Structure 1
Amino acid sequence: MANHKSALKRIRNSETKRLRNRYQHKTARNAVRKLESTTKKSEAEKMFDDVISKVDKLAKKNIIHANKAARIKSRLAKHVASL
């Protein structure tokens, strides 16, 4: 167990951040899946900006790698264009 006050605080903070990151990552993944399963172009275009925003935020906070974010966005743009 930690011996310093600052170490205890760091443990609390890191757990809070871990849970927040996990929630945001899961939410973005579900949004991507929902967009990929959409077959109507109008619905997909409405959802597209929101999903791209979520993916960009994950990349900005280093929850996912920047190249992975680019790959996801590219794949989704291709999917929406093909509808």
Structure 2
Amino acid sequence: MANHKSALKRIRSSEKRRVHNRYYARTMRNAVNAFRQLTDKNEATEQLPKVVALVDRVAKRNIIHNNKAANLKSSLYRQVNNM
């Protein structure tokens, strides 16, 4: 157990941040997985900017690494182009 008030506060704040980050990461992953299930090119082209914006937002908040975001976006664009 923590011995200092600041350590107790750090535990509380890091738990709150962890839950918050998990929410955003899970939301982004669900959106990417749903996008990968699409088969219609018109629908995928329409959804792509929304999913890319979500990935960018998560990367901007340092929940995922910038390179991971770039790789995700690249694979999504490639999927749309190969439809």
C-alpha RMSD of the superposition: 1.3
Deviation of residue 3 (structure 1)?
2.4
1:17 corresponds in structure 2 to 17
1:82 corresponds in structure 2 to 82
Unaligned runs of 5+ in 2: none
2:38 corresponds in structure 1 to 38
Unaligned runs of 5+ in 1: none
Looking at structure 2, the residues matched to 21 and 47 of structure 1 have their Cα atoms a distance apart, in angstroms, of 23
| 4+ residue runs over 3 A deviation | none
Deviations, residues 2-26 of structure 1 (Å, cap 9, x unaligned): 2222221211110011011111111
Looking at structure 2, the residues matched to 45 and 9 of structure 1 have their Cα atoms a distance apart, in angstroms, of 45
Compute the TM-score of the two structures, normalised by the length of structure 1: 0.88
Deviations, residues 9-64 of structure 1 (Å, cap 9, x unaligned): 21111001101111111111111111111011222122211111111122222221
Letter in 2 for 1:59: A
Taking every aligned residue pair, what percent have the same amino acid on both sides? Answer: 53
